[in-house]
Every structure is written in structure tokens, then in C-alpha cells.
């Protein structure tokens, strides 16, 4: 991390308004011309429990959570359970101040709410502050809020204090408040913001950190979006107007965004009895001629295994999204992990016949969701967008033009009634929807209600008109045709103008480097920043973020691995699933691949990857971290 | 102009239209009640003047699931217990389709019970036929959710300790707006009830007694049967939930004793799900499926939503 960036952490309890406050703060900084990346950490609770959001802001591009933080606004957990030291979960009230304090950088600033946290709670805070050169500014945030408005407005007071300490202009914050509030609530918030700021400004400052200078600012209009937003918007732009689902963290975000927007766009959103139904509804709607999606997180996706397999053999277009969280079973519901890769690749009986994308950024989430729809409807195959709690929830600024795109409502490989009239029919009268000779394995479909289009769909193996068949020759022809689709899809993706795989730095595509870092999904930006850190330390290194997981981008990964002597595969799970997949797909790269794994509920930080690289790969550096695990190369 | 010209066309239909040109030989056993459902369904569709291309028949797994193989329309032979979520979504995507779901008693009252309850609650405008033979047939004779208490089978060697499901009562409490029971041995009533069910605007559930001559030999052929509408013993108003509940209770209890009560048990006119969703503004007036064929439609874009994120 360079010193010209702010890593502002706002910490409190669930229900304390951390999310909305941080979002507005981030947006204000974006409007002031800075680049933004946020990181959310929250418990599976409605009220109380240590929650924080980090807002990283810098004039340069930021692609990851940062390394630690340099500004803490500790509100205290106003919904804490019994606040005693010896309580089962410890004293929750003070956790927003004391938990993860180790990660506060030297020279960091602490603002805490004196109104909630007294001297007794903060036994060794001043001592530690001295040791670490932290600068502590207590302020009675809730007292101030109560006096000039309502106690819940203490977050506003905290933002006012932040502005004072960072020498930040209030204008963008006030502007946002004016857009979101009105009347007395607005007046009170503006007053509290102002008063908190001037109250803190009257003090003597001992810290050096200031708001980074945005310089020239952004070249074009920026928007602040999450991965979940990008997935939902990609779906909307592909003409998806049907979603069915069942709430489950963290998939609920996509489901909510779609449910709120679809009615206005003449679409249909269905919250149903369970995830089996959710996936089955998407299949039913798609069969009847709508572009449809469903999704869930790991546990709900497990229930979708059965309909997913049906969509494979029935060749009903289907788009699913899977938002990973730490498993197995209920696991850690609000913590990110990448442990569902194999689950999504292989779940359901029989040979897998699906497409899986794992976008690495919000922009990729938008693009690859669009890909998922195009492939699902062109090739009559389930396409899955695999992401996680981290990518789904983190906010970053992107160029608004990313979303300024033509919609694509095409239903893909579908015949019109006039085409159906001349299409081949079986003597029984049925349209031959599953012919062996389809181009690229795809035999076009009809939609119920179309004259001369009727055919039978079945989850059994079937002949060209859809009737159940166990004839060996037919079985081979249908199986081969369905599997052939994966080959044609791979060719389509390989021929596309832009690859879904990202080599970093871009200029290193055709260069040999000593080391490679490889990852998939949400860790891409963090791994890229680790490459920057290592390059600065003089290492010859480059990174590959893989998004196409099925069909696997064999040629691109092979080219990358050929260009490095050794590759460290970085992923958030305990069994090295991406590395396993890569070894299986390429067959002879086992001696080149080692793993850095993390599964403690927190995503990687850039310097953490760099440090572990130095320790394990280079064989120097510090003691291995207890937060990650290194697995050396073990051959094929 | 509709992209689906098979829908809503006024025409005279020949019963043979619902029989595939080359008929796949049914795999049902001789004397199976499932033939009765197929015949009644063909009869009802003919009477209603439906075009085979405007009907979507979604079936589950089991002997009953093969109905879609022998009935000529758009067919979707899905997975065990899941005919309802697939069919009701098709109806939402294109409300002008005639949508029928069908499955057995294990399919609908066992593995798919959750879907049955919720589909009834939502009151989708569709017909749901449950082939109730009180046994698992295709897997060779295991005890099913409707098998009587004490029923012995290979998986219940000492006799089932469970009371059977009460399908009509369950349907009523779940929210079906049309509930009837008929029997394969009563083709005239079966066809009439099916016609009524299709004409009904809402979720029409038909518990269709289908004798299984192979695996449920002990069970009666569901004769003689009594039509509750014709029986002096039962004088009740179809729209009265309490009365309907009483008659259902009798029908379910007496079936175990070999007395077969059939007929209409309940009907109300509460708005169907698509009407309710249109009322709350969560369903388009024009069928969604039509929009994808409309070259003039101006598709909304995410770019229209960017003001929220600036």
C-alpha cells in the first residue's frame, strides 16, 4: 500500500447502519474524483455482532481490499449481547473498537464513540496507541446526535469527525444527503455533520493522514456498483425478464435487485417454496419462451442439482448464479470462500454438460453474465455464473459506459412458426427437436403455442422427436451431440474479441516470467495487486485470472504456464480445487503448481499473498502466516 | 400478430388429434387405470376444442409420468415430483397456454408435496391431475403416501404404521380453488370433471383414482362408486369450506373401507395467481413469451438505472 490512499473502516454492530453510511461515504469520495473499493465483513445476525466496512480510496486504480486500514471509526455495537469480558462471545459492545485492531497501520487514526464506550472498556488502548503511533480522538457521537436530532444519526456525526480529521470537503457528502433525505431528517443530519466537524476541528491534530488528492479526477462519469448489481444488470441487458428464487445469503442480493426492477420492466419475479422449485420454475419459463434465471448459494444450489441435470438432458436453456459462502453445510453464511467450484462443476448425476463462468471483477460479472445468457440460449445448455460473498458485496467505481450497451433479447436457437412448417417432423406428427445433425451440436427448438412445433421433452434419454429411447445407437448419437456443444462453446469463446481470462500485467501476455500467480473469481484483483508488490520488490512475476472453468480454457492456461517456471495457485478453499481442475485438464503440469489457500472466512490481502510467496516459493521471508496454508507442488 | 397461432383458435377438434400419428405403444399394464386418464383427457380437450399445439402437458416420474408420451401435445416429462414448478412457470411466461400437470400419488403427495401445497396456495390457473393408485407402481409395489394404514409391501413388511395422506383435505387447506375426485372406471364423470377443471379459473386439483391391477391387487377396482353430487346422504354447497371439508373427510376415510366416493368437493372463485399478480403490478398484461418475437419492442436497459449509482 502506498501512503496516498485512505483505508477507512467503519465498525459497529449489525443494524447500526454501517452499510448505508459506508456506501454514501464511498460514493462521496468517488464523486470527488477518487477510485473506490470496499470490503464488507458482517456476521449472520440481524441485530448486533461485529460488522465493518472498509472503504479504500486512492487517486490510482484500486482492485482489491487493502492491507489493513489506516482510519477506524468505531461506533460500538449498540445491539451487543451481554457486554461482559467473560461472556461466551466476549464483550461485543467494544468489539468494533478492539477486534482486528492489530490490522490498524502505524500512524493510524481512531475515532470512537465515547457515548457508548467508557474508560473501563478500553483498558490498554492508550498504551497500544503509544506503541503503534495511533492517534485517538474520542467523541460523544450519540450524545451529539441525540442533542441535535436522533441517536441513530451518530453515523453522520462520525462522518463529520472523519471529514474534519482528513481535511475533507463536506460538499459531496451534503449533496448525497440532499438526494436521499428531506425535511427535518435532512436538516438534522446536515446540522450534526457540521457540528461534529467543527467540534473535531477545534482540537489539536497529531496525525499525518489526510484525504488523498484525487488529482485530475476521472476522465468520464463513474458509477459505484457491486458484483451482484453487475450480474443483475447483465441479465437485464440480455432480456432476462423472469427470475425465481428463495432467499439465501449472499445470493439474495441478485435476487433482490432483479425482483425490484423486473416488474417495472414488464418482467416476473417469483419467490417460491424452495430451491428445487426455483430452478424448476426457471426451466418452465424458459421452455415457454422467456429468458429466465435462478440462483442460490451453496446450500440452495445443492437442491438445484436435480433440475440442473434435467436442463442438461432436456436442453432447456437455463442461467443459474451461485454465490459462494464458506461451507460445508450452513458453514459461515456471511463469509466468502471459493469452496463450491467442484460442486458447481459436477453436481447432478451423469456427465456434466454445462458452462461455468467465474468473473473476477464487477465489469467481468456484467460481461460474463451476458455470455452466460447468450450461450445458454444459443446452445440450449445450463450456464452458471459462479461468484462469492466478496465479489457480490464489494463496491467499486467503474466507467458508466460499461453499461451503455445494446440489449440482446434474442431467444437464441429457436424456430419461428413459418420455419417450423418446413422443419422435419416425425411420422407421429412431432417436430424433431433433437436431431442428430444440428450445427455445433445444437438442434433448434420450438416454443409451446407455436403451430406445428409440438414435441416431447423428457429427462429420459430420447430420440429426435423426444420420445424415450434406450437404443444404443441413439444414445451414442445424442450423448455425442450434447457433448459436442462444449467443444463448439469453447471455440466460440476462444474466437471472441476479448478473452474472459485476464493476464496481468497486460503487457506480460507474451513475455516469459520466472513466476506466475494463478487464481479464479473474486481474488483476481487482489492477486494482481500482489503482482505489483512483488514486482516492486524485484521479482519477475505475472498473474492469470481464470474465468472460464467449464469448458476449460486449456490453450490459454497452457500458454501461461509455459511462460513461467513456477506457478502459485491462489484460492479461497482448503482442497485446492482450481489447482486440481487445472491438473486434470492439462494433465502434465503438476510439478509446476503449488497452492496458497485461505479458508478462515476472510479474503486475501495483496501483501499477505506477497509475503507468503516470499516465504514459501522463494524460501526466504517471514514465518508462515497462520491465516493461510501453503501446499507444495506434488507432480501429476 | 401473435407468434403463437395455435393459441385460442376456434375450431372443431377430432379426438384423434390428441393421439400421436404413430402411437407409441403404452407401457402400462393391461387393465391399468392410467388408460382411463388418457382417454378422459383426450375427450375433455376435444370437447373444449383445443389445438394440440396450444397445450403443454407436464408430467412427473412414474407410470403416470408417461401420460405425456401417449397424449399428443407439447409435452414435458420432467423429474419426480417437479411437474408443478415447471408447469406453473410456463403458465406465468405465457398465460394463454393451456397448462396441465400430472403425476402419481407418490409424485404429488410425497416427493412433490411441498410444490403441491404452494401451487395450490398460489392458485395458478391450471389443472393438476394426480393418478392415485395408493401404491408405487413403476418401482414395483412399495407403500405410497396414500396406501392404507397396515399396508404390507416389500418396504413395509410388517404393515405401514402410517395413516394415509388425506389428499382432498390437504388440497382444501392448501388453497386449491377446484377440488374433485374421479375414477378411471367412471369415464363419463372423469371427462366432465376434467372439462370443468379446465374451464375453472384457478388451481384445479383432481385426485384421479387409477386402479393398479399388478401391484395393488388387494385394492378394489374403485367400484362401485358413488357420486357425492347424486347421493342423498351428502347435500352440501361446493363453495362452503366447512361442508366440503366434512365430505372430503368422509370420502378419504371410507376409501380405506372400500367405499368409493367421487365427484366435486369444492369450488370457489377467488382470483387466480396471474390476476393477483397483475393487480399488484408484478405481471405484464401481454404474455411475456410474445415479447421476444416482437421486433418493435423497445427493450429496457440497465443504462436506464445508472442514475442510482452515480
User: How many whole angstroms from its chain centre is CA A25?
Assistant: 21
A534 and A465 fall within a common domain = no
Domain count, chain A: 4
User: pLDDT of A621-635, one tens digit each?
Assistant: 778 999 999 999 998
DSSP state of A204: P
Residue B168: inside a domain: yes
A176 and A237 fall within a common domain = no
Is residue A93 scored above 90 in pLDDT?
no
Distance from CA of B16 to the nearest CA of A (A): 12
Q: What CATH number did the domain enclosing A341 receive?
A: 3.40.50.970
Residue A213: inside a domain: no
Q: What CATH number did the domain enclosing A549 receive?
A: 3.40.50.920
pLDDT of residue A614: 94
Residue B101: inside a domain: yes
Task: In whole angstroms, give the CA distance from residue A143 to residue A164.
Answer: 18
- Cβ-based neighbours of A476, under 8 Å, separated by 6 or more: none
User: pLDDT of B119-167, one tens digit each?
Assistant: 999 999 999 999 999 999 999 999 999 999 999 999 999 999 999 999 9
Task: In whole angstroms, give the CA distance from residue A395 to residue A228.
Answer: 9
pLDDT of residue A466: 95
**DSSP symbols for A353-367:** --EEE--SSHHHHHH
Nearest residue in A to B61, CA atom: A459
Task: In whole angstroms, give the CA distance from residue B213 to residue B232.
Answer: 32
Residue among B6, B302, B310 minimizing CB distance to A236: B302
Interface test mutation site (partner A, options B78, B111, B175, max chain A beta carbons within 10 A): B78
Examine residue A612 and say whether the peptide bond preceding it is cis (omega within 30 degrees of 0): no
A191 and A265 fall within a common domain = no
Instruction: Give the sheet arrangement for strand A502-504, strand by strand.
Output: A502-504, A541-546, A513-520, A564-571, A593-597, A629-631
Contacting residues of A for B276, CB less than 8 Å apart: none
pLDDT band at A86 (very low <50, low <70, confident <90, very high): low
Residue B2: inside a domain: no
B249-262 exposure pattern, b = at least 16 Cβ within 10 A, e = fewer: eebbeebbeeebbb
Residue among A263, A281, A427 minimizing CB distance to B282: A263
Residue A554: inside a domain: yes
CB < 8 Å from A in window 186-245 of B: none
Least Cα distance to B20 among B75, B79, B83 occurs for B75
Nearest residue in A to B94, CA atom: A288
A385 and A288 fall within a common domain = yes
Q: At what angle do helices B113-122 and B167-174 cross, to 10 degrees?
A: 50
Domain count, chain B: 1
Task: In whole angstroms, give the CA distance from residue A341 to residue A549.
Answer: 9
Residue B17: inside a domain: no
Task: In whole angstroms, give the CA distance from residue A417 to residue A400.
Answer: 40
Least Cα distance to B254 among B274, B271, B236, B231 occurs for B231
Count, residues in chain A: 636
Residue A208: inside a domain: no
DSSP state of A193: H
Is residue A405 scored above 80 in pLDDT?
yes
User: Strand, coil or helix: what is A620?
Assistant: coil
**DSSP symbols for A23-50:** HHHHHHHHHTT-EEEEEEE--S-SS-SE
Contacting residues of B for A467, CB less than 8 Å apart: 24, 69
Residue B8: inside a domain: no
Residue A616: inside a domain: yes
Global pTM? 0.97
Task: In whole angstroms, give the CA distance from residue A530 to residue A536.
Answer: 10
DSSP state of B136: B
Distance from CA of B278 to the nearest CA of A (A): 10
Distance from CA of A363 to the nearest CA of B (A): 13
> Where is the domain boundary, A495, A523, A548?
A495
Is residue A77 scored above 60 in pLDDT?
yes
Enclosing H/E stretch for A232: helix A227-237
Percentage of chain B exceeding pLDDT 90: 88
Residue B58: inside a domain: yes
A146 and A277 fall within a common domain = no
Percentage of chain A exceeding pLDDT 70: 98
Nearest residue in B to A304, CA atom: B82
Q: Which domain holds residue B242?
A: 28-309
Task: Say whether residue B307 is in contact with chain A using an 8 A CB cutoff.
Answer: no
Instruction: Cite the DSSP H helix spans in A350-440.
Output: 362-379, 389-393, 417-422
Radius of gyration over alpha carbons of chain A, in Å?
A: 27
Cell 478462515 sits at which residue?
A: A600
Other C-beta atoms closer than 10 Å to the C-beta of B196 total 17
Arithmetic mean of pLDDT, A314-339: 97
Is residue A169 scored above 60 in pLDDT?
yes
User: pLDDT of A232-278, one tens digit each?
Assistant: 999 999 999 999 999 999 999 999 999 999 999 999 999 999 999 99
> Where is the domain boundary, A403, A428, A456?
A403
User: Strand, coil or helix: what is A94?
Assistant: helix
Distance from CA of A566 to the nearest CA of B (A): 42
Percentage of chain A exceeding pLDDT 90: 88
A523 and A601 fall within a common domain = yes
What does DSSP say about strands A222-226 and A395-399: parallel, antiparallel, or unpaired?
antiparallel
pLDDT of residue A1: 42
User: pLDDT of A193-212, one tens digit each?
Assistant: 999 999 999 999 999 999 99
Task: In whole angstroms, give the CA distance from residue A589 to residue A310.
Answer: 35
Average pLDDT, chain B: 95
A374 and A243 fall within a common domain = yes
Q: Which domain holds residue A606?
A: 502-631
CB A325 within 8 A of CB A388: yes
B167: region left, alpha or beta (phi > 0 left; psi from -120 to 50 alpha): alpha
Flag the least confident range among A49-63, A268-282, A611-625, B267-281: A611-625
**Interface contact flag, A407 B299, Cβ < 8 Å:** yes
Average pLDDT, chain A: 95
User: pLDDT of B9-52, one tens digit each?
Assistant: 777 888 789 998 887 889 999 999 999 999 999 999 999 999 99
Task: Say whether residue B97 is in contact with chain A using an 8 A CB cutoff.
Answer: yes
| ipTM value > 0.95 | yes
Least Cα distance to A38 among A50, A46, A48, A25 occurs for A25
Q: What CATH number did the domain enclosing B36 receive?
A: 3.40.50.970
Residue B297: inside a domain: yes
Residue B9: inside a domain: no
A337 and A386 fall within a common domain = yes
CB A225 within 8 A of CB A395: yes
Residue A112: inside a domain: yes
> Where is the domain boundary, A441, A469, A495?
A495
Interface test mutation site (partner B, options A289, A410, A413, max chain B beta carbons within 10 A): A289
Is residue A127 scored above 60 in pLDDT?
yes
Interface test mutation site (partner A, options B9, B93, B296, max chain A beta carbons within 10 A): B93
Q: How many CA atoms lie within 13 A of B108 on its CB side?
A: 32
**Interface contact flag, B24 A459, Cβ < 8 Å:** no
A156 and A266 fall within a common domain = no
Residue A473: inside a domain: yes
User: pLDDT of A433-484, one tens digit each?
Assistant: 999 999 999 999 999 999 999 999 999 999 999 999 999 999 999 999 999 9
Amino acid at each position: 500500500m502506498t501512503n496516498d490512499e485512505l483505508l477507512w473502516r467503519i465498525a459497529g454492530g449489525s443494524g447500526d447502519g454501517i452499510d448505508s453510511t459506508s456506501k454514501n461515504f464511498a460514493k462521496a469520495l468517488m464523486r470527488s474524483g477518487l477510485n473506490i473499493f470496499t470490503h464488507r465483513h458482517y456476521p449472520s445476525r440481524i441485530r448486533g455482532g461485529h460488522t465493518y466496512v472498509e472503504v479504500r480510496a486512492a487517486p490510482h486504480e484500486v482492485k482489491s481490499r487493502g492491507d489493513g486500514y489506516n482510519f477506524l471509526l468505531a461506533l460500538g455495537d449498540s445491539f451487543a449481547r451481554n457486554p461482559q469480558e467473560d461472556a461466551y462471545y466476549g464483550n461485543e459492545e467494544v468489539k468494533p473498537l478492539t477486534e482486528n485492531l492489530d490490522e490498524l497501520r502505524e500512524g493510524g487514526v481512531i475515532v470512537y464513540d465515547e457515548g457508548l464506550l467508557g474508560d473501563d472498556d478500553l483498558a490498554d488502548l492508550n498504551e497500544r496507541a503509544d506503541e503503534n503511533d495511533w492517534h485517538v480522538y474520542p467523541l460523544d457521537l450519540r450524545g451529539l446526535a441525540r442533542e441535535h436530532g436522533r441517536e441513530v444519526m451518530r453515523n453522520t456525526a462520525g462522518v463529520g469527525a472523519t471529514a474534519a480529521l482528513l481535511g475533507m470537503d463536506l460538499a459531496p457528502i451534503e449533496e448525497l444527503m440532499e438526494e436521499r433525505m428531506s425535511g427535518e431528517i435532512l436538516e438534522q443530519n446536515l446540522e450534526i455533520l457540521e457540528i461534529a466537524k467543527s467540534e473535531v476541528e477545534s482540537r489539536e491534530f497529531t496525525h499525518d493522514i489526510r484525504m488523498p488528492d484525487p488529482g485530475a479526477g476521472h476522465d468520464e462519469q463513474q458509477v459505484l456498483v457491486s458484483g451482484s448489481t453487475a450480474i443483475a444488470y447483465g441479465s437485464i441487458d440480455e432480456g432476462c425478464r423472469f427470475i425465481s428464487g428463495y432467499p439465501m445469503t449472499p445470493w439474495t442480493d441478485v435476487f433482490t435487485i432483479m425482483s425490484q426492477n423486473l416488474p417495472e420492466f414488464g418482467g416476473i419475479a417469483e419467490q417460491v417454496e424452495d430451491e428445487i422449485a426455483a430452478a424448476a420454475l426457471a426451466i418452465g419459463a424458459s421452455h415457454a419462451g422467456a429468458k429466465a434465471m435462478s440462483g442460490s448459494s451453496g446450500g440452495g444450489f445443492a437442491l438445484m442439482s436435480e433440475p440442473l441435470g434435467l436442463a442438461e438432458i432436456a436442453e432447456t436453456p437455463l442461467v443459474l448464479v451461485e454465490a459462494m459462502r464458506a461451507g460445508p453445510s450452513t458453514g459461515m453464511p456471511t463469509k466468502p470462500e471459493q469452496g463450491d467450484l467442484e460442486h458447481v462443476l459436477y453436481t447432478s448425476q451423469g456427465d456434466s454438460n454445462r458452462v461455468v463462468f467465474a468473473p473476477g471483477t464487477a465489469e467481468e460479472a456484467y460481461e460474463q453474465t451476458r455470455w452466460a445468457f447468450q450461450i445458454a440460449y444459443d446452445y440450449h445448455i445450463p450456464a452458471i455464473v459462479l461468484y462469492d460473498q466478496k465479489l457480490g458485496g464489494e463496491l467499486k467505481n467503474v466507467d458508466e459506459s460499461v453499461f451503455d450497451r445494446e440489449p440482446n433479447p434474442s431467444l437464441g436457437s429457436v424456430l419461428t412458426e413459418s420455419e417450423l412448417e418446413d422443419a422435419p417432423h416425425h411420422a407421429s406428427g412431432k417436430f424433431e427437436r433433437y436431431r442428430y445433425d444440428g450445427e455445433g451440436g445444437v438442434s433448434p427448438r420450438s416454443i409451446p403455442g407455436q403451430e406445428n412445433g409440438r414435441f416431447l421433452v423428457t429427462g429420459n434419454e430420447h430420440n429426435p422427436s423426444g420420445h424415450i429411447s434406450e437404443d444404443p445407437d441413439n444414445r451414442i448419437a445424442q450423448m455425442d451431440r450434447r457433448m459436442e456443444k462444449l467443444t463448439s462453446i469453447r471455440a466460440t469463446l476462444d474466437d471472441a474479441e476479448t478473452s474472459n481470462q485476464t493476464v496481468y500485467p497486460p503487457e506480460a501476455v507474451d513475455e516469459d516470467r520466472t513466476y506466475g500467480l494463478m487464481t479464479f473469481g473474486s481474488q483476481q484483483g487482489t492477486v494482481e495487486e500482489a503482482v505489483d508488490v512483488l514486482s516492486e520488490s524485484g521479482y519477475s512475476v505475472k498473474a492469470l485470472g481464470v474465468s472460464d472453468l467449464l469448458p476449460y480454457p486449456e490453450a490459454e492456461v497452457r500458454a501461461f504456464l509455459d511462460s513461467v517456471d513456477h506457478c502459485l495457485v491462489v484460492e479461497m478453499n482448503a482442497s485446492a480445487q482450481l489447482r486440481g481442475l487445472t491438473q486434470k485438464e492439462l494433465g502434465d503440469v503438476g510439478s509446476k503448481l503449488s497452492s496458497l489457500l485461505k479458508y478462515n472466512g476472510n479474503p486475501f490481502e495483496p501483501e499477505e499473498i506477497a509475503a507468503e510467496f516470499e516465504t514459501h516459493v522463494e524460501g526466504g521471508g517471514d514465518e508462515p502466516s497462520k491465516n493461510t496454508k501453503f501446499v507444495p507442488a506434488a507432480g501429476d | 400478430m401473435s407468434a403463437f397461432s395455435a393459441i385460442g383458435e376456434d375450431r372443431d377438434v377430432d379426438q384423434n388429434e390428441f393421439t400421436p400419428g404413430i402411437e407409441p405403444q403404452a407401457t402400462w399394464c393391461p387393465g391399468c387405470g392410467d388408460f382411463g386418464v388418457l382417454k378422459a383427457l383426450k375427450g375433455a380437450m376435444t370437447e373444449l376444442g383445443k389445438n394440440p399445439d396450444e397445450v403443454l402437458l407436464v408430467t412427473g416420474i412414474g407410470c403416470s409420468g408417461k401420460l405425456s408420451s401417449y397424449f399428443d401435445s407439447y409435452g414435458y416429462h420432467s423429474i419426480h415430483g417437479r411437474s408443478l414448478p415447471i408447469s406453473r412457470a410456463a403458465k406465468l411466461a405465457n398465460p394463454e397456454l393451456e397448462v396441465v400437470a400430472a403425476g402419481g400419488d407418490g409424485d404429488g403427495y410425497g416427493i412433490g408435496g411441498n410444490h403441491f401445497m404452494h401451487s395450490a396456495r398460489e392458485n395458478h390457473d391450471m389443472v393438476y391431475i394426480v393418478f392415485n393408485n395408493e401404491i408405487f407402481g413403476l418401482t414395483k409395489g412399495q407403500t405410497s403416501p396414500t396406501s392404507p394404514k397396515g399396508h404390507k409391501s416389500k418396504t413395509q413388511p410388517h404393515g405401514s404404521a402410517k395413516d394415509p395422506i388425506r389428499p382432498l383435505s390437504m388440497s382444501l387447506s392448501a388453497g386449491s380453488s377446484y377440488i374433485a375426485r374421479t375414477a378411471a372406471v367412471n369415464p363419463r364423470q372423469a371427462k366432465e370433471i376434467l372439462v370443468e377443471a379446465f374451464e375453472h379459473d384457478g388451481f384445479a386439483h383432481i385426485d384421479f383414482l387409477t386402479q393398479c391391477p399388478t401391484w395393488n391387487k388387494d385394492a378394489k377396482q374403485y367400484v362401485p362408486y358413488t357420486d357425492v353430487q347424486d347421493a342423498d346422504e351428502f347435500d352440501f354447497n361446493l363453495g362452503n369450506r366447512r361442508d366440503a371439508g366434512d365430505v372430503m373427510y368422509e370420502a378419504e376415510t371410507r376409501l380405506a373401507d372400500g367405499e368409493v366416493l367421487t365427484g366435486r368437493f369444492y369450488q370457489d372463485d377467488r382470483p387466480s395467481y396471474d390476476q393477483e399478480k397483475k393487480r399488484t403490478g408484478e405481471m405484464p398484461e401481454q404474455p411475456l413469451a410474445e415479447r421476444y418475437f416482437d421486433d418493435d419492442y423497445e427493450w429496457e436497459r440497465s443504462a436506464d438505472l445508472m442514475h442510482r449509482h452515480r
